[in-house]
Amino acid sequence: MSELRFPENFVWGAATAAYQIEGATQEDGRGPSIWDTFSRTPGKVFQGHTGDVACDHYHRYADDVAMMAELGLRTYRFSVAWPRIQPDGTGPVNPRGLDFYDRLVDTLLGRGIDPFVTLYHWDLPQTLQDRGGWTSRETAEHFADYAVAVLGRLGDRVRTWTTLNEPWCSAYLGYGNGVHAPGERDAGAAFRAVHHLLLGHGLATRALRAAGVATLGLTLNPADVQPADADSEADAAAVRLVDGLHNRIFLDPLTGAGYPEDVLEHVARHVEPTFLRDGDEKIIAAPIDLLGVNYYSPAYVAGRSGGAGGSAYPGTEGVVEFLPPVGPLTEMGWMIEPAGLTRLLERIGADYPGLPLMITENGGAFPDKAGAEDPDGTGRVADTDRVAYLDGHLRAVHRAIARGVDVRGYLVWSLLDNFEWAEGYRKRFGIVHVDYLTQRRTPKESARWYREVISRNGL
Ligand code: GBH
């Protein structure tokens, strides 16, 4: 009787993102994105890897969907590449770009898999970046137009729509510490980007709702922020600061409370907040039906100077020390701590009640080998470390549900090994191995294990 069952109708699936898997970056009228530019900038991505070919999913999508069906997936979360739909980010839509997602959606439905759309997973059209990108208010307005264009083609078949994936990354890694595209390093730009991303979400949400979308939301990567020392007042202050810049800066305005005062004060020390206009908070607070939660690892902070990390949060240098990860780590160097996911879900459930949650990403990178990279191999990828990671985190989700948190589903990151942004192809998150020399797919042991979990609706 040690079995754990998930609620009836619990959603099970896997997630990917356009630039990480599609390839075909020059095909069918796609315009360049900031990741095409960034990955070609020397020193930005591991060994100069790019998404030019990636998993060649653009051409292999039908086989990939057939494989998803074999793996028993019920839902597939993918992102639409804005530069395929509007090569310059504005103006007339490119029908051939929409055709791809049209075919993908039909193929998914034909296999009984529910399509779950992310409208923006970081591949901003380069032309919009040339005009300021997310530091510019116009990008938010253009995003709403783009959202409506995609809805116009897919809205008759796709039920679940999310606007942004992890605006924290877009703003802080893209404009704050320069680890992601477009690679800017400017605290003020990062905060402007936060606001315009949220505004873009709000404007798109309003437009999609007006057009009749039933299930609408966005995905954040909220952080479980813990003090190094639970009895230290300085550490508690550090938690409050990081929680403000990571969690409350998004969740408070999204749920109608506006930006928190302490966060606004912090922002105002870096940039004159002239970009905040009357009425913006009301737009951002457009009701949502679903909050996607991506969780990988907790953060431990101390209220003192020191340590190497921390620079991703503008204005925390010398004030907050991010503790180096300890204990079991994934290949990314991230701490494995499933309890952090339970804490995070309980916290969101308590502080933002009434918001249905879904785990839209969770998973780990581990050094898996197969195919041509593993000539002596058995043809199986025994990724027991990934199975343990996923098992532990599913138990953590179950615990949160048992304690009353409204969690509607779980999507593993990722279906396929793929282009892991600044890490290129060297980090593998897939439950399916991809041999980049041959594009051969090999389901790992974790994929077989996951199929069992889904079919039993439990562990
Ligand atoms: C997600 O980003 C993305 O949505 C997805 O595209 C990506 O492939 C996947 O996760 C895996 O990376 O540096 O130790 O302090 C997650 C990005 C991960 C960024 C955790 C902040 C902090 C860990 N986040 N990271 S650490």
Q: Where are the domains of the chain?
A: 11-456
* φ, ψ (nearest 5 deg) of residue 197: -65, -45
Is 20 marked as binding a ligand?
yes
How far is 45 from 408, CA to CA, in rounded Å?
Answer: 35
Ligand 1 close to Cβ of residue 337 (< 6 A): no
Ligand 1 close to Cβ of residue 297 (< 6 A): yes
Residue located nearest, by CA, to atom 11 of ligand 1: 420
Helix (H) or strand (E) holding 305: none
Quote the tokens at residue 113. Answer: 């898999």
Number of C-beta neighbours around residue 195 at 10 A: 27
**For residue 375, how far is its CA from the centre of ligand 1 (angstroms)?**
31
Q: What is the pLDDT of residues 38-82, one digit of tens each?
A: 999 999 999 999 999 999 999 999 999 999 999 999 999 999 999
Of the pLDDT bands very low, low, confident and very high (cuts 50, 70, 90), residue 209 is very high
Mean per-residue pLDDT, 227-234: 98
Q: Is the pLDDT of residue 400 over 60?
A: yes
Residue located nearest, by CA, to atom 12 of ligand 1: 420
**Residue 273 contacts residue 341 (beta carbons within 8 Å):** no
**Residue 307 contacts residue 323 (beta carbons within 8 Å):** yes
Is 449 marked as binding a ligand?
no
Of the pLDDT bands very low, low, confident and very high (cuts 50, 70, 90), residue 379 is confident
Q: Which residues of 137-154 are buried (b: 16+ CB within 10 A; e: fewer)?
A: bebbbbbbbbbbbbbebb
The per-residue pLDDT of the chain, averaged, comes to 96
Residue located nearest, by CA, to atom 23 of ligand 1: 334
**Residue 225 contacts residue 242 (beta carbons within 8 Å):** yes
Q: What is the pLDDT of residues 110-126, one digit of tens each?
A: 999 999 999 999 999 99
Is 421 marked as binding a ligand?
yes
How far is 252 from 349, CA to CA, in rounded Å?
Answer: 13
List the CATH code of the domain at 11-456: 3.20.20.80
Q: Is the pLDDT of residue 309 over 60?
A: no
State whether the Cα torsion 412-226-320-255 is positive or negative.
positive
**Residue 305 contacts residue 319 (beta carbons within 8 Å):** yes
Quote the tokens at residue 236. Answer: 């508690």
Of the pLDDT bands very low, low, confident and very high (cuts 50, 70, 90), residue 369 is confident
Of the pLDDT bands very low, low, confident and very high (cuts 50, 70, 90), residue 377 is confident
Q: What is the pLDDT of residues 250-281, one digit of tens each?
A: 999 999 999 999 999 999 999 999 999 999 99
Of the pLDDT bands very low, low, confident and very high (cuts 50, 70, 90), residue 1 is very low
Return the half-sphere exposure (C-beta side, CA atoms, 13 A cut-off) of residue 353: 2
CA 95 to chain centre: 26
pLDDT at residue 372 in the model: 66
pTM: 0.97
Is 272 one of the annotated active-site residues of the chain?
Answer: no
